[in-house]
Copies of this chain bind each other. A is one copy, B any other.
Amino acid sequence: MPVNLQPPVAADLFPVAGVRIGVAEAGVRKANRKDLVVFALDEGTSVAGVFTKNRFCAAPVQVCREHLAAGAGIRAMVINTGNANAGTGADGLARARRTSAALAKLLGLAEQQVLPFSTGVIMEALPVERIEAGLPAALAALRADGWALAAEGIMTTDTLPKAASRQVQIGGRTVTVTGISKGAGMIRPNMATMLGFVATDAAIAPDLLQDLVREAADLSFNRITIDGDTSTNDSFVLAATHRAGNATITSLASAEGQALRDAVIAVSQQLAQAIVRDGEGATKFITVQVEGGASEDECSRVAYAIAHSPLVKTAFFASDPNLGRILAAVGYAGIDDLDQTLIDLFLDDVHVARQGGRHPDYQEADGQRVMKQSEITVRVLLHRGAARTTVWTCDLSHDYVSINADYRS
């Protein structure tokens, strides 16, 4: 069961002026389930995205990159679940193009104005004809308040839909930021993909959008890990419809820019953390905080070494304060000149290790108390500099193995 995560309440998800969403059942992989989502974006909407660094990226990711680069103005997005169209070679690319072409035709757009996304089984042919057949129903269902339905329509092994929304005042106008996300990393035997879609009605200079989406990703979706496997389909897209009526934001450093930036980052972090809370077999939500690094890069290496260690993750699952494992992970994170005699380790408020050794006052009972919590913060002090970073992850449970060892079904 997810860790302290509730399903979104439709009424709490503010519509974004200029964005309409339609959901349909196309039977891509299973009958009678919402598996096709269409976003229709008003003319003039600006769109930017970041995509998986996996060199085996899926066909739709390649098409998205092309279409965004074409600069024809993105007016629609089509997302299917059930099939990731990854590891499908040239044929997969053709099917991804055919999907966006089909939606473009129905909306009277150029093919380059549509972004296609897929999630699901890897290495199987995308049933593009079923998607084509389902598109009219999705378009007929277009509505401004479709966010909750869309969150449901992009789920794979997620046990709960994931959405977040907030409004902020910018220059006397109410600006809305709303988004949805799904499944972290490489999740089910052959379900791939983390997807994130965030839209705002803020008026903002289009050339700022790419910086904003990249920064938001770096502070949210790029800070979570379930099992360390990078999916072939990971995509995070930010759309701005410019409909809020605020004076166009021309700098992210301005007060208005900061306000929008903070809202987008907050929504993105909530969506990213929801993915970890719903991580496969997750029973605990772990925040790994590394401070005092010489660079943010080395802080990240230490944080991910801890967050990826199967030994650390199983210890959290067992509520076993077996904290030498965390020190060991710090030691192999790849900082060649690390001085172990400087390291401090905290588990929430408990000072576990000092100068690289067990803290004289540390009592196993204290570690035990914290390990039993459902939310735990691991804090490592490197004493090498002023850099710091935070990563969110979950524990490694029997259910993770069960879910991932299951036959594809």
Q: Is A90 an interface residue (CB 8 A)?
A: yes
A309:B87 contact, CB within 8 angstroms:
no
Q: Is A317 an interface residue (CB 8 A)?
A: yes
A401:B397 contact, CB within 8 angstroms:
yes
Q: Which residues of B contact A53 (CB under 8 A)?
A: 332
- Contact A192:B328 (CB < 8 A) given known A320-B405, A407-B318: yes
Q: Which residues of B contact A86 (CB under 8 A)?
A: 324, 327-328
Contact of A57 among B124, B331, B405 (CB under 8 A): B331
> Could you say which of A174-182, A197-205, A355-363 contacts chain B?
A355-363
Q: Which residues of B contact A56 (CB under 8 A)?
A: 327-328, 330-332, 338, 340, 343, 356
> Could you say which of A12-20, A24-32, A137-145, A224-232 contacts chain B?
A224-232
B405:A122 contact, CB within 8 angstroms:
no
Name which residue of chain B comes closest to A354, CB basis: B89
- Contact A329:B229 (CB < 8 A) given known A318-B406, A398-B401, A400-B310: yes
Contact of A340 among B55, B189, B396, B406 (CB under 8 A): B55
Q: Is A190 an interface residue (CB 8 A)?
A: yes
Q: Is A402 an interface residue (CB 8 A)?
A: yes
Cα(A190)–Cα(B323), bound, Å: 9
Central interface residue in A56, A323, A328, A405, by most chain B CB within 10 Å = A328
A231:B328 contact, CB within 8 angstroms:
yes
Interface string of A285-296 (1 = CB under 8 A from B): 000000000000
Interface string of A363-406 (1 = CB under 8 A from B): 00000000000000000000000000000000011101110111
**Top 5 closest pairs, chain A to chain B, by CB:** A89-B357, A56-B331, A122-B324, A318-B405, A230-B332
Interface string of A90-106 (1 = CB under 8 A from B): 11100000000000000
Cα(A329)–Cα(B330), bound, Å: 24
Q: How many residues of A are counted as interface, with CB atoms below 8 angstroms from the partner's CB atoms?
A: 69
Q: Is A325 an interface residue (CB 8 A)?
A: yes
Name which residue of chain B comes closest to A54, CB basis: B331
Q: Is A315 an interface residue (CB 8 A)?
A: yes
Cα(A351)–Cα(B190), bound, Å: 19
Q: Is A353 an interface residue (CB 8 A)?
A: yes
Q: Which residues of B contact A400 (CB under 8 A)?
A: 310, 314, 401
B405:A331 contact, CB within 8 angstroms:
no
Contact of A229 among B310, B322, B323, B358 (CB under 8 A): B310
Q: Is A109 an interface residue (CB 8 A)?
A: no
B190:A325 contact, CB within 8 angstroms:
yes
Contact of A401 among B123, B192, B314 (CB under 8 A): B314
Q: Which residues of B contact A407 (CB under 8 A)?
A: 318, 320
